[in-house]
């Protein structure tokens, strides 16, 4: 029974249904939480929420039951997507950043793997020397909230609200 509960919890995690995961977890009797098949997805969810993806990899390396391997492979894919999203944010937030800092933010401990990831992100042309990433910003990427029309509309809306009150 605990095996099926654990597999179901992992399924919910992989599908990014965290709320459903917690509902299902609340329905499981506390005495089963210490079972290895149920404790594994609980730890995996905790590591996902903390952003400690290295621990997820460590859990995968010491899996006792091969039936969980599929789910951990899917979590690895999600972690890669998270890294790409964070990399996009770095590129939009910084005009330049030291490679060591980008590597730290993206949780890479191996320079070679990080350099492969840089190529995937299109950052291989952004390197100045060996230690700094410089991103070219597009001037047309100004946020929509800076648009004068939106500001004017909001001011008119505020004036109308003031008249009503």
Tell me the pTM. Answer: 0.60
DSSP annotation string for 33-74 = TTSHHHHHHHHHHHHHHHT-HHHHHHHHHT-S-GGGHHHHHH
pLDDT tens for the chain, 165 residues: list them.
Answer: 899 999 999 999 999 899 999 999 999 999 999 999 999 999 999 988 887 777 888 888 888 788 999 998 888 887 788 888 888 888 888 888 898 898 888 878 888 888 888 888 888 777 767 788 888 765 555 555 567 778 888 888 888 888 887
State how far the Cα of 109 lies from the Cα of 111, in Å rounded to an integer: 7
Please report the pLDDT score of residue 137 as a whole number.
64
Write out the H or E segment, with its range, that includes residue 128: strand 127-128
Which residues make Cβ contacts (< 8 Å) with residue 141, sequence separation at least 6? 92
Please report the pLDDT score of residue 123 as a whole number.
82
DSSP assignment, residue 141? G
Please report the pLDDT score of residue 140 as a whole number.
54
């Amino acid at each position: 029974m605990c095996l099926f509960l654990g597999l179901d919890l992992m399924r919910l995690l992989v599908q990014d249904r965290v709320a459903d995961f917690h509902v299902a977890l609340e329905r499981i009797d506390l005495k089963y939480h210490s079972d290895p098949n149920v404790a594994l997805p609980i730890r995996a969810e905790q590591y996902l929420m903390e952003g400690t993806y290295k621990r997820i990899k460590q859990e995968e390396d010491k899996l006792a039951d091969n039936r969980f391997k599929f789910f951990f492979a899917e979590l690895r894919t999600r972690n890669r997507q998270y890294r790409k999203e964070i990399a996009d944010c770095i590129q939009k937030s910084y005009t330049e950043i030291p490679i060591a800092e980008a590597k730290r933010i993206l949780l890479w401990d191996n320079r070679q793997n990080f350099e492969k990831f840089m190529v995937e992100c299109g950052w291989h042309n952004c390197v100045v020397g060996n230690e700094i990433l410089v991103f070219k910003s597009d001037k047309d990427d100004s946020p929509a909230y800076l648009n004068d029309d939106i500001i004017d509309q909001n001011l008119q809306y505020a004036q109308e609200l003031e008249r009503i009150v």
